[in-house]
Amino acid sequence: MLSQLVKDRESVLVGNELVDAHCHLDLFAEPQVAAKDARFGGVNLIITAGGSKSSSLAAIRIADGELVFAVIGVDPEWAGSDYSFIGEISSLIKSHKKIVGIGEIGLDYKVGTDRRNQTEVFEMQIDIAKSLDVPIVIHSRGAIEDVIEMVKEKEVKKAIFHFFEGDDEQAVELSRLGYLISIPPIESSRRRRIINELGIDSIAVETDSPVVGKSPLDVIRTVEWIAEIKGISFNEASMRITQNVKKLFSL
């Protein structure tokens, strides 16, 4: 099985495409080099995410609208200091086609920001996304139940759960609402159960590099792992996962 996956991977690298649905190219010493290296290795679509005003503006500068697209927003850690940036998000998205969503945004109960402030900032950005009909990229840490309640209450239509922290039952519930569950490059028994329970059409892959993965190329091993669990070829897994992300972001 593994040897076949390796053969399939080789064919992907020369002919098809992989996706990194969430990374932070602005944190690389040479973002453009990291993106080009990824393309050379077969990763032909990258979503680079903001989370503060400075990282969002950097993501816009890095995005080229071909290989790299940006999502911008204010995450829980910056909900207090970068609150005013929320007022700029709508006009930035309208003026830059390479911005394809709002993110990363959400709730994080392991940072010091006031929870009420986090909730307000999250809700405001959900409303902007709904008004522009763009997806949101959700950050949730220690807060998955409250995040699920909020997206259901706000009737969010388009979302991807970055670095999903929930269990398999929550993943299935969210997939039934039409959301994507993003798998990072860290294998665990919990993530194996999630992958096993989800349909392939509800799965995305990410590296969160360079914070977690070393580069966007780390999606290769994650797709191999998903293909193994699902009993499908690497080619099929990579193609369908990439299409999931393209569909969500209208690419």
If DSSP codes are grouped into helix, strand and coil, which group holds residue 30? Answer: coil
Cα-Cα-Cα-Cα dihedral of 65, 220, 176, 77, to 10°?
-70
pLDDT score for 9: 44
User: What pLDDT is stored for residue 16 in this prediction?
Assistant: 59
Q: Across the beta sheet with 99-108, what order do the strands follow?
A: 18-23, 43-49, 68-72, 99-108, 136-141, 159-161, 180-183, 203-205
CATH number of 2-249: 3.20.20.140
pTM, 2 dp: 0.93
pLDDT, averaged per 10 consecutive residues of the chain (251 residues), comes to 41 65 98 96 97 98 97 97 97 98 98 96 98 98 98 98 98 98 98 98 98 97 98 96 98 97
pLDDT of residue 6: 40
Q: How far apart are CA 110 and CA 112, in angstroms?
A: 7
**Residue 196 token pair:** 């096993």
Q: What is the domain partition of the chain in residue ranges?
A: 2-249
